[in-house]
């Protein structure tokens, strides 16, 4: 009997609609009991089921010559030669971080690490993509400060380097920050494992930490609803991480996989045992029986439904043949990792939950996972601006020098040294370039028996996507690929995290639809498959939605890390040139933001031309003849040149064909600054020489002259000064 007519119906409190509840009743042939309802509410949540985005995501290209594992596994995997495979994925922990930033960000790192070693790869690098409100907001400073501390705490403690990332500050993220974490791992191809459960009679074993109430109703619920002013009350729902426990778990699982002890492996993330067990059963087309009385608990009085939905961290679920259980137990004892046999694989195609001898839940796997309702979006392009103009921060009579210093001091453009110096970027001895010294992180493969190196980057620009969801998303893919090309790397695969507002609102549905179309077209043009990713929706509060923010992570390979150029100018007298199909415009630019504007469109992009330019740049970099290569992004050409000056400690004398504002500070895809010997620079196709390296200032004739020391002060001081001024003001 349906209870959908009741105003106080429990399913509504759990985020299920009346129609969804009636669908559950139809699939079960009866009303669900409280445990079953709790499990269905999580498995049918937006976070677990992608019910508003799954149809749309089918448009993305998922095939490629290097692909080993694609969407549907814990992480995507590509072949990098020499018998090695690289796993990578990006995930969001936005809502938990907005509630409790330290643990939200820390457990975001812990969760993405588990996705990587769940496929058999050793995590070797973390990158993060962060968004907060304006830095003059006390709330945004608090969230930024503690999220960075959380990332550093987990990554540094577990011994995985944080090698790159990005941070933006915009009013649209004031109530709902974004914390996206990306992890890269490496494995011998033969050690890879999938998560599908198999073999009726095989044993289900829970590895790792005890289960507690932390995380109940956490990521899966918080990420499936808009945040409100009462979100401080949700702090207990945010998971609590223990990187030292996870460190043992990593080594234990990798040793078990090396010995081929396990039949399958799955991490416990959002929705805990419910999602991990149901997804394993679905992929293997089997059933699972779980006895929650065998689950090790931190709190003895937990109810069966709490055990099933707890999101406690540092846990993995594996399937092992009965005759190999003793072998598994021995390895776990050696690593001091708890191993508990909690169930069996069956042929029932049902997830059955027992509390000792009592059956407390019986749910068809197909109903939980494969038959979740999927919704068609109803996109409508908005007829009026969705977002207010930003506050004006630049005077009308600002000179070009004033504009340059204002841009370098804008927190979204300024150096993020304050953040990344809290991370360890070199632990593991693979990092060939420290953060900010190259446009992509470079990780050597020699330690793993491979040749060459990996390049990794993560990019996105929500403001530009807010201006034009299609073109802004195209630009995000191109930016990521360009960062790889700047170190000589060919992209092998792409992962993404799609951060948007409420998809049930027509204008948000339009943003999401156009953004995915842009990602699709850019990936097709570059021949890069999407290997997996994450969707985070309902990122909005009382002040409205976040900027639509597709974040793109990309992994590539390069032949010789010794030839990777740096972003800083290297030698007095080197020629400086601009290469690439760069057509600067002020629409959507940082300068436009400083002037209190937000445009409604961006210039169109020629994807074929961009793809050719990336291939040409990649070959030029691989020659080893270019000591300096740096792409143009936020702030345009003059900001990019200033960053080269700051990083290298040398000035530059420019002779620009145009000193119009759009030429100096306009933005758009395709542009790259290179520097080197004139003969080497001139050989690069399309190179336009615009000056030379030298002196102690950045100069453009009579237009502009700013000392490198002054550039560095604005650039390096912006973020630390924001915190210092707040302390002085007593905030």
Is 153 a residue of the active site? no
Q: Which domain holds residue 16?
A: 10-47
pLDDT at 236: 46
- Lowest-confidence range among 236-240, 487-491, 638-642? 236-240
Residue 250 domain-assigned (yes or no): no
Which of 47, 52, 95, 662 is an active site residue? 47
Kindly state whether residue 263 falls inside one of the protein's structural domains. Answer: no
pLDDT band at 228 (very low <50, low <70, confident <90, very high): very low
In a domain, 22, yes or no: yes
**What would the pLDDT profile of 367-388 be if each residue is shown by its tens digit?**
999 999 999 999 999 999 899 9
d(C-alpha 162, C-alpha 426), whole Å: 8
Assess if residue 519 is contained within a domain: no
Number of C-beta neighbours around residue 45 at 10 A:
25
**pLDDT tens-digit readout, 304-320:** 999 999 999 999 999 99
Q: Identify the pLDDT of residue 234.
A: 42
Which tokens belong to 501? 């507002």
Give Cα 475 distance to the centre of its chain. Answer: 17
How much is the average pLDDT of 117-143?
96
Q: pLDDT digits over 6-23, tens only?
A: 446 889 989 899 999 999
pLDDT band of 435, cuts 50, 70, 90: confident
Q: Which 8-state DSSP code applies to residue 121?
A: P
Instruction: State the maximum Cα–Cα separation within the chain, in Å, rounded to a whole number.
Output: 86
Residue 139 pLDDT > 50: yes
Find the mean pLDDT for residues 268-273.
90
Q: Which of 11, 52, 66, 93 is catalytic?
A: 93
The whole-chain average pLDDT of the chain stands at: 93
CA separation for the pair 412, 656 (Å, rounded): 26
**pLDDT of the residue at 237:** 57
The whole-number pLDDT of residue 396 equals: 87
Per-residue pLDDT tens digits for 396-425: 899 999 999 999 999 999 999 999 999 999
Residue 133 sits at the vertex; the CA angle it makes with 715 and 166, to the nearest 5 degrees, is 50
- SS3 string of 670-722? CCEEEEECHHHHHCCCCCEEEEEECCCEEEECCCEEEEHHHHHHHHHHHHHHH
CA proximity to 459, closest of 186, 131, 149: 131
* Tokens 């099933």, residue located: 308
**pLDDT tens-digit profile of 320-365?**
999 999 999 999 999 999 999 999 999 999 999 999 999 999 999 9
| For residues 181-191, average pLDDT | 96
Confidence class for position 683, pLDDT limits 50, 70, 90: very high
| N-term to C-term CA, the chain | 56
What are the beta bridge partners of residue 297? 211
Q: Considering the domain boundaries, does residue 35 fall inside one?
A: yes
Q: Say what the pLDDT of residue 531 is.
A: 97
Percent with pLDDT over 70 in the chain = 95
Which three-class secondary structure state does DSSP give residue 534? strand
Do the beta carbons of residue 367 and residue 27 sit within 8 Å?
yes
Work out how many domains the chain is built from and give that number.
Answer: 1
5-19, 49-63, 97-111, 646-660: the lowest-pLDDT one: 5-19
Highest mean pLDDT among 235-244, 571-580, 722-731: 571-580
pLDDT for res 730 = 66
Question: What's the pLDDT score for residue 217?
Answer: 55
Model confidence at 731, in pLDDT bands (50, 70, 90)? low
Does 115 map to a domain?
no
pLDDT band (50, 70, 90) for residue 529: very high
Q: With contact defined as beta carbons under 8 Å apart, do 233 and 212 qualify?
A: no
d(CA 369, CA 624): 51
Do residues 71 and 90 lie in contact, with contact meaning Cβ atoms separated by under 8 Å?
A: no
If pLDDT is split at 50, 70 and 90, which confidence band does 497 have? very high
For residue 436, the model assigns a pLDDT of 87
Flag whether pLDDT at 223 surpasses 80: no
pLDDT score recorded for residue 671: 97
Q: Which two tokens stand for residue 540?
A: 């909005």
Using pLDDT thresholds of 50, 70 and 90, give the confidence band for residue 727.
Answer: low
Separation CA 648–CA 397 (nearest Å):
31
pLDDT per residue as tens digits for the range 599-651: 888 999 999 999 999 999 999 999 999 999 999 999 999 999 999 999 999 99
Structural element, H or E, at residue 70? none
CA atoms within 13 A on the CB side of 344: 8
Residue 507 known to be catalytic:
no
Long-range contacts of 443-447 (CB under 8 A, 24+ apart): 443/124, 443/125, 443/163, 443/184, 444/561, 445/80, 445/82, 445/84, 445/186
Residues 6+ apart with CB under 8 A from 658: none
How far, in Å, CA of 534 to CA of 181, rounded? 11
**269 vs 392 pLDDT, higher one:** 392
pLDDT band at 728 (very low <50, low <70, confident <90, very high): low
pLDDT number for residue 599: 87
Question: pLDDT at position 240, please?
Answer: 81
Report how far residue 304's alpha carbon sits from residue 290's, in angstroms, rounded to the nearest whole number: 11
18: in domain: yes
Please write the tens of the pLDDT for every residue from 82-100.
999 999 999 999 999 999 9
pLDDT at 434: 82
Q: Is residue 453 part of a domain?
A: no
């Amino acid at each position: 009997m349906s209870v959908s007519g009741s105003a106080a119906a429990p399913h509504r409190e759990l985020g299920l609609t009346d129609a969804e509840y009636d669908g559950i009743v139809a699939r079960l042939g009866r009303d669900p009991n409280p445990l079953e309802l709790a499990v269905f509410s999580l498995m049918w949540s937006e976070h677990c089921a992608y019910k508003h985005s799954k149809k749309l995501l089918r448009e993305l290209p998922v095939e490629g010559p290097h692909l080993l594992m694609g969407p549907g596994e814990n992480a995507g995997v590509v072949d990098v030669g020499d018998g090695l495979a690289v796993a990578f994925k990006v995930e969001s922990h936005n809502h938990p971080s907005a509630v409790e930033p330290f643990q939200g960000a820390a457990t975001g790192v812990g969760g993405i690490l588990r996705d990587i070693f769940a496929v058999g790869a050793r995590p070797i690098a973390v990158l993060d993509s962060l968004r907060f409100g304006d830095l003059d907001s006390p709330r945004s400073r608090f969230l930024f400060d503690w999220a960075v501390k959380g990332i550093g705490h987990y990554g540094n403690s577990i011994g995985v380097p944080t090698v790159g990332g990005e941070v933006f500050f915009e009013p649209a993220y004031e109530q709902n920050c974004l914390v996206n974490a990306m992890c890269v791992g490496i494995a011998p191809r033969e050690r890879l494992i999938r998560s599908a459960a198999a073999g009726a009679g095989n044993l289900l074993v829970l590895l790792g930490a005890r289960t507690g109430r932390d995380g109940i109703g956490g990521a899966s619920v918080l990420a499936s609803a808009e945040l409100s002013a009462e979100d401080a009350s949700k702090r207990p729902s945010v998971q609590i991480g223990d990187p030292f426990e996870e460190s043992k778990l990593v080594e234990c699982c990798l040793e078990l996989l090396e010995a081929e002890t396990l039949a399958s492996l799955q991490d416990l993330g959002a929705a805990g045992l419910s999602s991990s067990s149901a997804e394993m059963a679905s992929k293997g087309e089997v059933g699972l029986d779980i006895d929650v009385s065998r689950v090790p608990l931190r709190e003895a009085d937990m109810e069966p439904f709490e055990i099933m939905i707890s999101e406690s961290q540092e846990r993995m679920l594996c399937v092992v043949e009965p005759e190999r259980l003793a072998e598994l137990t021995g390895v776990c004892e050696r690593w001091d990792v708890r191993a508990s046999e909690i169930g069996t694989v069956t042929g029932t195609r049902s997830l059955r939950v027992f509390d000792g001898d009592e059956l407390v839940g019986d749910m068809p796997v197909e109903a939980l996972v494969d038959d979740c309702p999927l919704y068609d979006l109803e996109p409508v392009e908005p007829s009026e601006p969705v977002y207010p103009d930003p506050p004006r921060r630049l005077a009308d009579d600002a000179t070009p020098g004033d504009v340059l210093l204002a841009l370098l001091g804008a927190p979204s453009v300024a150096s993020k040294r304050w953040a990344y110096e809290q991370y360890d970027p070199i632990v593991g001895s693979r990092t060939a370039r420290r953060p900010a010294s190259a446009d992509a992180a470079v990780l050597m493969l020699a330690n793993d028996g491979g040749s060459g190196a990996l390049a990794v980057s993560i990019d996105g620009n929500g403001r530009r996507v807010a201006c034009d969801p299609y073109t802004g998303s195209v630009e995000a893919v191109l930016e990521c690929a360009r960062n790889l090309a700047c170190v000589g790397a060919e992209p092998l695969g792409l992962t993404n995290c799609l951060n948007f507002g409420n998809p049930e609102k027509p204008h948000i549905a339009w943003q999401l639809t156009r953004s995915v179309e842009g990602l699709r077209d850019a990936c097709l043009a570059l021949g890069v498959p999407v290997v997996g990713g994450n969707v985070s929706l309902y990122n909005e509060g009382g002040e409205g939605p976040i900027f639509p923010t597709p974040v793109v992570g990309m992994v590539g390979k390069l032949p010789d890390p010794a030839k990777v150029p740096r972003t800083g100018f290297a030698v007095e007298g080197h020629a400086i040139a601009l290469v690439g199909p760069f057509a600067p415009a002020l629409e959507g630019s940082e300068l436009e933001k400083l002037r209190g504007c937000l445009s409604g469109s961006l210039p169109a992009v020629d994807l074929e031309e961009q793809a050719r330019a990336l291939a040409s740049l990649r070959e030029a970099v691989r020659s080893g003849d270019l000591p300096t290569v740096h792409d143009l992004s936020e702030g345009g050409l003059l900001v990019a040149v200033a960053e080269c000056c700051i990083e290298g400690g040398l000035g530059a004398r420019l002779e620009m064909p145009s000193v119009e504002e759009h030429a100096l500070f306009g933005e758009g895809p395709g542009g790259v600054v290179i520097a080197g010997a004139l003969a080497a620079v001139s050989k690069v196709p399309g190179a336009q020489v615009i000056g030379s390296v030298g002196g102690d200032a950045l100069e453009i004739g009579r237009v502009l002259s700013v000392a490198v020391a002054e550039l560095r002060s604005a650039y390096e001081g912006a973020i630390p000064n924001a915190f210092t001024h707040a302390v002085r003001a007593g905030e």
